Structure 1
Amino acid sequence: MSATDDSRVHEPFRIAIVGGGLGGLALAIGLIKHGIDVHIYEAAATFSEIGAGVAFGPNSVRALGLIDKSILRGYRKHATFNEDPKRQHTFLSFRYGMDSRNGNGKTCGDLIMHMEDDQDMDKWTGTRTRSCIHRARFLDELVQLIPAGITSFGKALTTMEHLLGEESDVNSVLLHFSDGSTVTADAVIGCDGIKSKTREIILGNNINPKFTGEYAYRALIPRDAALKALGEELACNGQLYCGYGGYIITYPVEHGELTNIVAVRRKDGATWEDSQWVVPSTKDEMLRDFEGWHPAIIDLLSRSWVQGKWSLFDLQHSAKYSEGNVCLLGDSAHASAPHIGAGAGMAMEDAFILSNLMSTVRDQAELQRAFQAFDTVRRPRTQRVVKYSMLAGLAYEFMKEDVRDDLSKLQTDISARFKWLWHEDLEAQLLRAKELMK
C-alpha cells in the first residue's frame, strides 16, 4: 500500500477552508479528490493573487502531482524554464551584482556558481529543476478544478466559537463573518495568509509577522528589452546577483515573453511602521538604494518598475499549527521571506500531507488527531524553511556572519540549503504522520 492509499470509509463531515489563495485551493482540490465535503470562504469579491512570478523547486512541483495530477497538468501549461539546455538542472545562477570589495578581483556580473540539482528528481513531473509561473495563471488553473457552488466570496472571518456536541465532547465550530453571516463546520482550516485571522483567533496576538529589515522593488520587462540590455544568457535563464546589503533576482516568466526583476534591499536596524506593507516610492529612492549595482539591470528597473516598495515579513515561532479542530496551513502558519523560493511550495507540501491525512479520518473524533499529526511532521520542516530563508537573504547580501563575501564559503552555504529543501521524501513524511495518528 502506498502512502496515499487508504481503504477505510469515513463518516461525512464538513470542512471550512478560510481563504481562497493558492494554498487553500490546492487543499480543497486534494480534499475533494478524497470525497470530503469542503467549502471555501474568501474575504475578497473574487479569487485573486498579488505579485507576478512564483518559483517552484523540485520538491514543490512533486507536491503538486501528489495532491492531484490535474494540478500538475495545469501548472505545466504555463510553467517557464531556463531556456539554455545546459541550464535545465540549474535553479539559479549566482553572480556578483556589484564589484567585490574583498580584493579577489571579482567584478559585477562575474559568476559565483550555478546552483544545480544533482539528483535529477524532476523526471516524472515533466518539468526541470527550476520552473516559474505567473501567479494569476496558476490561480486560474486551480480555480478550474474547483466545483461550482463550494466557494462563498465577501466572507471575512471575524470570530469563531466551539459548539459542544449533544451526545459527546466532540465540538463543531461556528464561524462569524464581517457581513453578519454565520456557518457551522466540523473543522476549520485557516489558509488566510500571513495576516491570518484564523491564527489570531486560535493562537492570540503573541504570534505576529515580523519585518525582516528588507524591502523590494519589482519590474516586469518585455523579452526584447531584456535581451537587448542583458543578452540571451542572462535574460532567458534565472539569475541572482549578490551584493553588499541587497540582491537582485531576474528570471523569465510567461514562456519567456517577460523577465521578472525583484531588487531586495536590507537596511540595518530598519523598522516598518506603516500599516500598509506596500507603500509608494520614487525612482530617485530606488536609484540611491542600488547605486553601484549592475548598470543594465538598474536601467531596466528604473524604466519599467512598478511604482512601489514591498516590505518583507516572515513568521517564525514555535506554537502549534492546530488547536482542537482548527488547523493552519501555508503562510498563515509559517510565512517565509522569498529568498529560497519556498513559500508557495511549502503550502503545496502542506496540502498534500493534510488532504491525505484527512482521507484516513473515520469520524469527527479523529479530526483532531489528524491535525496534531500534521503539526508534528510539518512544523519542524516549515519553520526551518522560515529560518533558512532568513539566512539565505543574509548570505546573498554578504551579511551572514560566518560567510560574508568569502566566495568558497558562499558556494558551500548556498548549495547545502537548497539541497536540504529539494530532497525531502514527502510520501515518507505522510507515512510517519499516519503512524502518529494510530
Structure 2
Amino acid sequence: MDSVNGVKPAKPFSIAIVGGGLGGIALAIGLIKQGVPTHIYEAAAGFGEIGAGVIFGPNSARALNLIDPAMLDGFKRCATFNESADRIHTWLSWRYGMDSRDGNGKKCGDLIWHLEDEESAKLGYGTRTRCGVHRARFLDELAKLIPDGTVSFRKSLVDIDELSESKGGGIRLHFADGSSATASAVVGCDGIKSKTRGYLFNNKINPEYTGEYGYRALVPEKLAREILGDDIALNGQLYVGYGGFIITYPVEHGKLINMVGVVRNGQLWNHEQWIAPSTKEDIVKDFEGWHPVLVDLISKFEVRDKWAFFDLIHSEKYYRGRICLMGDSAHASTANLGAGAGMAMEDAFILSNLLGSINDTESLERAFKAYDSVRRPRTQKVVRLSRLAGMANEFVAPKIWDDLSKLQSDIDARYRWVWREDLEAQLAEAKRYM
C-alpha cells in the first residue's frame, strides 16, 4: 500500500524497543515513519544520556537524514563545529601531547597533521566533517519527534518470554515493577550492559576491558581560549603520546570545551563499577610528562570520576527468533574512532526500513536475519578498528609505534572506511538477501 501524506499504513505487527537512548529513539522514529507500531520501554525516570560530548562524522549525518530529515534538523540545532574557516573540513588536528622520544625534536603541542575530508561538504546537509553535540541536548531534540504515549519510563527489564503460537505468539517483557508488556518482536537498544543481550545469549557474551580508562572535563570557553588560544580551543584537537592521548573539542556551540584524557594501564580493571572515584593527584600522576597546560585544565575541571573503557567483540548473530539487538547492546565500541553513536544511527536506518518492507509477523525473523547479514560484519569491524585506533594514538600499535608516517596512513585509512559507507546500497543488499 502507498503512503498517505507521508505516513504509511500501520503494519499488522508491533515492535517493543528496550532502551530510550539515542539508538532506541532513532529506531522508534524510523519505525513510526515506516508505519510500524512501536513502543519504547526505558528503565530511567526520563530520557537521559551518560557523558557530555559525542562526535558524529559524515556517515552519521547521512544516516540521520535517511531515517528522517527532521532528525538531521534537530541535530544541526545543537551541533557544534570547528570554528575556524580553514578547519571546516577537518575532523581533528593531531598534535604531540608530550615531547617526542624518537629524536625528531618535536615538542608537546607541536602539530602532526590535520585529518581532512572535503567530501563531507558535498553531502549538502549543512554539517561539517566533525560535528560535536552534547548528548543530552541531542536526545531532547529527538524526543520531540516521538508521539505522546510512545514511551513508558521506569520500566527496568528483568526477563523475556518467547510466547508459543498457542499463546498468541510474540514476546512478553517482564519489568522490575511487576508489570509486563507484549509485542510481536523486541529490539534491545539497552546499551553495553544490555539485559536483552543477556537473555539472548544466556549471559555468555560480555564486554571486555580494553586496558584503557579516561578522565572527562568540561572547560568554560573563555578560560580555554585564554589558556590555549582560539585556534586550539575552538577546533578539535587530538594529542597523542606514549601510553595515552587527550582529545579536546567544543560543544554547546562553543560555550564549553569537552576534554577527555585516556590512559592505557594494560591491567585488569580492579573496581566493581566501571566508574571509579578519582582525584587531581591521579590525573597528574597518570599524565606525568604531558603538556602541562592540558594537564592543568583537565585536572581542574575533571568530574572526579575515571571511566573504564569496555567494548564488545564477538561473532554471535545479532538476533534469534523475534529478538534482535541494535547499537551498543550488539557492538559497543570505544570512542577512539568517534563512530559508536554513528553505528547506532546506521543500524536504525537499516532495521527500520527492513521492518517497514514486510507485511506479516512470519517475516520478522527474515528481516532480522537480513539486518544481521549486513550490519554485523561492518559494526564488528568498527569495534576492532576503534580498539586499534586507540593503540595507535598511544604509540603502542605493533608495526606503527611512534612512526608518524605510518600512524597518519593507518588512522587516515580507518576513518575513510567508516565515513564512505553507502547506506542505501547496504539496505538494497539486505533486501536482496531477505
Work out whether the TM-score is over 0.5: yes
For residue 120 of structure 2, give the secondary structure of its aligned residue in structure 1.
Answer: coil
For residue 170 of structure 2, give the secondary structure of its aligned residue in structure 1.
Answer: strand
User: Partner letter of residue 162 of structure 2?
Assistant: H
Instruction: Give the aligned partner of residue 194 of structure 2.
Output: 196
For residue 255 of structure 1, give the secondary structure of its aligned residue in structure 2.
Answer: helix
Deviations 1:248-304 (A, max 9, x none): 000001111110000000012x11132211111111111000011111111111211
Contact 1:171–1:325, Cα closer than 8 Å, also in 2: no
What is the CA-CA distance between 1:124 and the residue it aligns to? Answer: 2.1
**Aligned runs of 1:358-377 on 2, under 5 Å?**
358-377=355-374
User: Partner letter of residue 31 of structure 2?
Assistant: L
Deviations 1:312-365 (A, max 9, x none): 100000000000011000000000000010000000000000001111011000
Structure 2 portions without partners, runs of 5+: 1-5
User: Partner letter of residue 249 of structure 1?
Assistant: I
**Aligned runs of 1:266-277 on 2, under 5 Å?**
266-268=264-266, 270-277=267-274
Deviations 1:105-155 (A, max 9, x none): 111111111111142355321100010100010000011111111111111
Partner Cα distance (1:228, 1:121) in 2: 31
Contact 2:350–2:371, Cα closer than 8 Å, also in 1: yes
Deviations 1:146-165 (A, max 9, x none): 11111111111111111122
**Aligned runs of 1:337-356 on 2, under 5 Å?**
337-356=334-353
Q: What's the RMSD between the two structures over aligned residues?
A: 1.5
Q: Would you say 1:399 and 2:396 are equivalent positions?
A: yes
Aligned residues: 429
User: Partner letter of residue 78 of structure 1?
Assistant: C
Partner Cα distance (1:392, 1:196) in 2: 25
TM-score w.r.t. length of structure 2: 0.97
Instruction: Give the aligned partner of residue 284 of structure 2.
Output: 287
**Aligned runs of 1:27-426 on 2, under 5 Å?**
27-120=27-120, 123-166=123-166, 171-268=169-266, 270-426=267-423
Contact 1:93–1:238, Cα closer than 8 Å, also in 2: yes
Q: How much identity, in percent, do the aligned residues show?
A: 61
Contact 1:19–1:191, Cα closer than 8 Å, also in 2: yes
What is the CA-CA distance between 1:7 and the residue it aligns to? Answer: 12
For residue 339 of structure 1, give the secondary structure of its aligned residue in structure 2.
Answer: coil
For residue 82 of structure 1, give the secondary structure of its aligned residue in structure 2.
Answer: coil
Structure 1 portions without partners, runs of 5+: 1-5
Distance 1:304 1:10, change over 3 A: closer
Partner Cα distance (2:109, 2:205) in 1: 40
Instruction: Give the aligned partner of residue 3 of structure 1.
Output: none
User: Partner letter of residue 159 of structure 1?
Assistant: D
Instruction: Give the aligned partner of residue 3 of structure 2.
Output: none
Contact 2:93–2:238, Cα closer than 8 Å, also in 1: yes
Contact 1:58–1:122, Cα closer than 8 Å, also in 2: no
Partner Cα distance (2:340, 2:270) in 1: 24
For residue 180 of structure 1, give the secondary structure of its aligned residue in structure 2.
Answer: coil
User: Partner letter of residue 381 of structure 1?
Assistant: R
